[in-house]
Every structure is written in C-alpha cells, then in structure tokens.
Amino acid sequence: ITTNRIDTASVYGIAREAATILPEFGISAKLKEIKVDKKIEGDHKIDLKIKPDPKNVRRVMAVVIKDIKNNKSPQWMIERLQNSGLRSINLLVDITNYIMLEYGHPTHVFDYDKLTNKQMLFRLSKPGEDIITLDSKKYKLPGGDIVIDEGSGTIIDIPGIMGTKNSSVSDITKNIVFFVDNINPIRIRKTSLSLNIRSYAVILNEKSVDPKLAEIAFYKGIELYASLSRGVVFSKVFDYYKKPISPKPIQVSIEFIEKIIGIKVEPKRIVSILQNLGFSVHISRLNLLRVAPPSWRQEDVTIPEDIVEEVARIIGYHNLPSKIMNGEIPEKINKSQFEFENLIRNTLVNLGGYEVYTSSLTTKSNAGENALQLRNPLGSDTEYLRTTLKNSLVDAANTNTKEDKAFHLFEIANVYLKKENDLPDEKMMLAGVIVRDNFRNAKGIVETFLESINSNYKFEMQILESNFFYFEFV
C-alpha cells in the first residue's frame, strides 16, 4: 500500500475498493455497511481521569470493562491473525490486533488494576526518561515524544507506537481499559525512528489514520470483548474529539475529466464511481461536479486532478487511449551543465578511469575543514557534510587494494561549504585518485584530460601514499 492510501491498509479498506472495481469487470459486488451499536456502554461514570494534549491528540475514546476472562482466542481469530502475519498472544491483545487489521485503526488495552492513580495524562516526554516496552526492551526517550503518564510521572504507554510493561494485560487480568487514540502522526514517526521501533501500529499511525475510523474500531472492539471474554461494560464511554473533520468540496467539470483522460464518459458513470468510493457528489445542470471527499481521503484528494485520477483508475488505465504527443520535438538545450559533466565523464572513462559514487555524509575525520554537522544524523559515520572528495576517494581506492594492476577512480559530486546564517554553498567538484601507476603515466592522464577541455593549468601534485596520486578541480 502506498503512503497516501492508508485507507486501504485493512480488510474493510480493500473490500471498499473491490466493491467499486469488480463491477467494472462484470462482477456483481456491493460493500456491506458497517453497523455499530453505540448503546454498548455501562451505567457508571468512567472511573478514570483522562487528560488529552490538545496540541497533539486528535481523538481519544476509552471505556472500562470488568470481570473479563482472558481465555484462549478462538481458532478462527488465531488463523486470521497468522494469515495476516501476526502471532496470537492472548485474547485481550488478539482482539486489539484483529480490529486493527479489519478496520485499519490501531486499538489498545491496559490492565485497569495496574493503574494505581487511575489516570491517563497525555504529555510530551522529558529527555532521558526510561521505559520498558511490552517486549521487555528498555529505552531512553530523547524528549518531545507523546507519552501517557499515570499521574505520578510514571509512563504507561507510548501511544501510537507500543505499550509499556507496567500497564500490560496478563493471564490474571480481570478488568481492562479499552481505548483508541489518534495523535500527531509527525511525532509518532519521529519517535519511532529515534527509538527504532517499527510496529504495525506505527506503520498505520504515522500515515495519519482517519480519526472518524476510531469510532468504528472502538465499538467493534467492545462487541468482541463482550462476546468473547464475557466482560461487562462497566463505564460510560469517554470520547474526546478535538476538531472533527469537515468535508472540503472540490469543483470539477465533466469536460475537464474527459479532456484529461482522453475519452467520453457518461456523467452518471462518473457519479457512480465516486459515490461507490465514498465521495459525496452533487452535479449541476452545467455538468459541473461538486465533490466532497470522505473523511478517509481528506488529506489525499485535494485538487480537481485527484478527482480525475479516481475516475481514471477505476475505468482502468488500459482502457484509456495511447497517443504520441502533438507538436514539434523540443530542441536540444545547448551548453547545459549536464552536457559538460558528460564530456568530463566520457573523457576520463576513455582514459581508463572508473567513476565512483560516494556519500556526501561522512565522519568528522573524513569531512574536511569547517564541515557542517547534522542536527539529527543517523549515525556517527554520516554525521558531517564533506567539504572535499579526497578522503572518500582514498577510502574507495583502499577497498580495492587487492587489485594488482594500476587503476584510477574519479568522482563528480557536490561539496558543502559553510555560509554564515544561511544554507551551505554547494560546489560541484571533480576529483580523482590514481593507484599503482608511475608518475609519468599519472601526469599524462591528467594533462590529456585538461587539454581535452581546453583548460589552463599548473601542476601541484600531492603524493598521498607511495602508490597514490590525487587530483582535484572545481
């Protein structure tokens, strides 16, 4: 599933697509409507203080379920989880994973009795705070991560990523908090990458799951807990929804759609396709469409061309005409930067050189003088932007030390020079290293190259090692 189509990363999401596509191939199909019973809740006020962070929490739903039986999951659930790539853990956890796979929104469960202060406070972590996750791994948080605090400073969850050991359910769990949270996807991804935690929930949440979908996942989860664990829904439902998504209509004409895709399409067919995909459509007498994307496509469909794409993909790209473009072939651009680069590249290859590509990110010792340091490097070996190609080329030559004949390597790439209070100055450089060749041959290669590009030059040869000659040009 591509990043922009997180709405299809579930059984129901795929079914919604199939119900629209299959009729195009003459196969009758209709999407079954999801029905949830919102009356499934207890009589008691929720005995749990939940305080979302308005800046980072879009929605939270929670309920307390008591007297549950953490039995073995039914065989049909175990098989479906395994066929989807997840192993069965226990009934209480399996239900959360099952709902996530079926409807596409992660859900969570806590052991209610382990929450000594009976609080769930969403906040940002402080640098250096420690947690132990469900898989018994210890992490030190970098700070600025969304966490759930039990009210005493103790972290009981990294929402959207993974739960912690101190709030997890077990075989002796009797009472649970079942909840769904929908929070800032940018912070989720940042925390996931900094801690190197890549759970299935992260893959969904970092792509901005539809907050409205939380309601379906939540009530379907309650149904499963009530029927499979025999739990009693004790409390009323807590539902915090900061800013409900409002449809943003897009105007597009039938003429515009037909012009882009290249064929005539009946307006009724266009309306039918869009409605089957969940879009709200109003068509005027002038064949002007006013289309409102569903909540699960709000961030993906924003301009008229997106509407055209929806119609085209369902009709099938194989049904659209293939035509050679009209007009004259554009004239070749003379004296472009790439033309000069190709001249250099071809000349050095003809002189026996091998072009290499090395990373612009390197270690402090290899970066050169006054190199810029990254704020968030992936590691110490990619922490600095290089100001010279020399060290990278020498490293490349050293990896080929088993070559017993003379050879030379070259690279054409940018270096990054520091500029005060501004982005670095990117300079294109050519550098080369000649290995196991004598001075006369090495000098001849460089001279021939410089003459081929009509360059005035003066030699200042630097011998790096007994078998190395190095040259560099701006």
pLDDT digits (tens, 9 = 90+) for 383-433: 999 999 999 998 998 888 788 888 999 999 999 999 888 889 999 999 999
What pLDDT score does 334 carry?
67
What pLDDT score does 335 carry?
66
Dmax over CA atoms of the chain, in Å, equals: 93
What pLDDT score does 210 carry?
92
What pLDDT score does 204 carry?
93
In order, the DSSP letters of 321-372 are ---PPPSPPPPPPTT-HHHHHHHHHHHHHHTTEEE----SEE-HHHH-TTPE
In order, the DSSP letters of 434-457 are EES--HHHHHHHHHHHHHHTT---
Low-confidence stretches of the chain (pLDDT < 50) are none
What pLDDT score does 158 carry?
94
Phi and psi at 139, nearest 5°, equal -130, 150
At CA 472, angle to CA 466 and CA 473, rounded to 5? 160
d(CA 170, CA 327): 70
DSSP three-state, residue 285:
coil
* 248 CB neighbour count, 10 Å cutoff: 11
DSSP three-state, residue 67:
coil
Which amino acid is residue 175, in one-letter code?
A: N
pTM, two decimal places:
0.69
d(CA 271, CA 24): 14
State the angle between helix axes of 11-21 and 267-276 in degrees (0 to 180), rounded to the nearest 10: 170
Q: Is the dihedral of CA 161, 164, 168, 170 positive or negative?
A: positive
- Give the C-alpha distances (Å, rounded to integers) separating 307 from 235, 261, 272, 285: 43, 11, 13, 19
DSSP element (H, E) containing 111: strand 108-111
* Contact indicator for 96, 107 with CB cutoff of 8 Å: yes
What pLDDT score does 19 carry?
94
In order, the DSSP letters of 5-48 are GGGGSSHHHHHHHHHHHGGGGT----PPPP---TT---SBPPSS
pLDDT in tens, 54-74: 999 999 999 999 999 888 899
